[in-house]
Amino acid sequence: MERLILNGTAPSVNHMYNHRMVKKKLIKTMKPEARAWFDEASLRARLWRNKNKWSTASEKVVVRLWYYFPDERRRDTHNTLKALLDALESGGIYADDKTALPRIMDYEVDKKNPRIEIEFEKVV
């Protein structure tokens, strides 16, 4: 089965949300650039799912991840898991991201083609 490839890098939790007070309540809204990445990642996951005849998993799924960053800036791959795992749930890879078992396999710099490559394996 071919890998799912997501363009760019997922937003970190630190850069994903705007916070504002509304009637003495703190409201979180997704930043426009994070929303654009999330929507694109969800769409690519749905397309991959259809092409590879992947049925939405209700059981545990191992999610193997390879990160290719656009530059040498220090990044923490684990900070991107929230947006990434939520987008894959939205794309129908699994019914609930609590069943996702992420495995970060490696990371590198690829200035010309930053991306995340993903393999899935259902655990039975």
User: By residue range, what is the domain housing residue 31?
Assistant: 4-122
- The identity of residue 45, as a single letter, is A
pTM score, whole prediction? 0.91
Domain count, the chain: 1
3-state secondary structure of 59: coil
State the Cα–Cα distance between residues 108 and 101, nearest whole angstrom: 21
pLDDT tens, the chain, 124 aa long: 799 999 999 998 888 888 888 888 888 889 999 999 999 999 999 999 999 999 999 999 999 999 999 999 998 899 999 999 999 999 999 999 999 999 999 999 999 999 999 999 999 8
User: CATH number, domain at 112?
Assistant: 3.30.1330.70
CA distances for 83 relative to 12, 16, 63, 100, angstroms: 7, 8, 14, 13
Cβ atoms within 10 Å of 16's Cβ, excluding its own = 22
